Amino acid sequence: MIISTQVFAQAGAKEQEAAKEDNSLGLGFSINYYSKYIWRGIDFYAGDGYFYPSVSWEPFGSGFKVTVAAEVASSWVFNGFTKKPDKYYFDDWSMSSIHKKKKQVNAYAYANQGLDFGAEYSHTFEGIITLGANFWYYYYYNSKYAREMAWTRVESVNAVKKWDTSYFSVGVNVGLDCVPWINPTIAVFYDNYVGYKRAGDYYVQLGISHDFELLKDVITITPSLTAGYYIGRTYGFNNWYIMSLNGTDFDLTPVADGGDDLIWRQHVAPKKGVSDVVPSVTMTVSHGGFSFTSGFFWVIVPAKAWYKGGPVHKFYAQLGVAYNL
């Protein structure tokens, strides 16, 4: 039997940390917990949540900010920072978890824990429009060692390799501050998966939001709505396979041409469509240099290309705390 498994795990912690910039040093520290890792409509951690600690610096209120952050799977934390087994694998082909010493580790989440490095710049023109640009590199240090990220070893004309899902993303964004109440924004991202030499993913997101101050400068409620269109060229691939009928050698000559090899192609088309529509509401409580945030997010995946085999509706919650100097 010839079995081929190819997993294109996309990642990255794309949530931007909210922080006030009216401080002298421009240093910001935060940690957030998300009950699920939903990114562009994709359940990236296969049902697992994650912690997102970050440190950022915006020198002299210049609008330029650098950030270092981490994506840490909650199952790894809650199970006592379980050491990675020398070999780990699926219990069966329908599960994404493994068991070691009665502890459960989410394999996809473990494989895609990462470090994020970002540089951003934004400028507001007299409260009329805000323009921004950013560059992020997402380093998934476990992915290139994880068998979940590799093709199964089979006799084929494909090189057997493991997928390093690390990638960089370049983005630009525009905020129309002159439009009252809804604060419309648009952001465009280009992704390049350098780990396995694939590029050309694009993501466009539209958003609206409004802040309601329940207690001035202390408690703010923010309902928002975003919609994203994702062109995932990285998801498309061609695999060529060969199986020898005599079970010994391969002459790369198909049966149709007088040989004894079966050769076939597995083709998967790139994905594209509206990947996520997200109504959400968040609350921020600020005091001194601290801010505490909580939020609830409802993710709707309209395009069949992105929800096929999974649910259309997904939900997650967020809790966080930040401190700015």
> Which residue in 7, 33, 193 sits closest to 108, CA to CA?
7
Write down the pTM of the prediction. 0.78
The residue assigned the tokens 């990285």 is 234
Q: Could you give the CA distance from residue 76 to residue 84 in angstroms, rounded to a whole number? A: 10
Residues 6+ apart with CB under 8 A from 30: 17, 19, 53, 54, 56, 320, 321, 322, 323
Farthest CA pair distance, the chain: 81
- pLDDT computed for residue 101 by the predictor: 40
The neighbouring-strand residues paired with 38 are 43
- pLDDT computed for residue 126 by the predictor: 86
**DSSP-derived 3-state class of residue 202:** strand
pLDDT by 10s per residue, the chain, length 325: 332 322 222 333 333 343 344 546 899 999 999 999 999 999 999 899 999 999 999 998 899 999 999 999 998 898 777 765 444 444 444 444 444 444 456 777 888 899 999 999 999 998 899 999 999 999 998 887 765 555 444 434 444 456 688 999 999 999 999 999 999 999 999 999 887 777 789 999 999 999 999 999 999 999 999 999 999 988 776 555 555 555 555 454 544 555 555 555 555 678 899 999 999 999 999 998 999 999 999 999 999 999 988 899 999 999 999 999 9
- pLDDT computed for residue 78 by the predictor: 86
Residues 6+ apart with CB under 8 A from 307: 41, 301
Which regions of the chain does DSSP assign to beta strands (E)? 27-34, 38-39, 42-43, 50-57, 64-73, 97-100, 103-106, 114-125, 129-139, 167-175, 185-193, 198-209, 212-215, 219-232, 237-244, 261-268, 271-287, 290-300, 313-324
User: What is the dotted CATH code of the domain comprising 27-324?
Assistant: 2.40.160.40
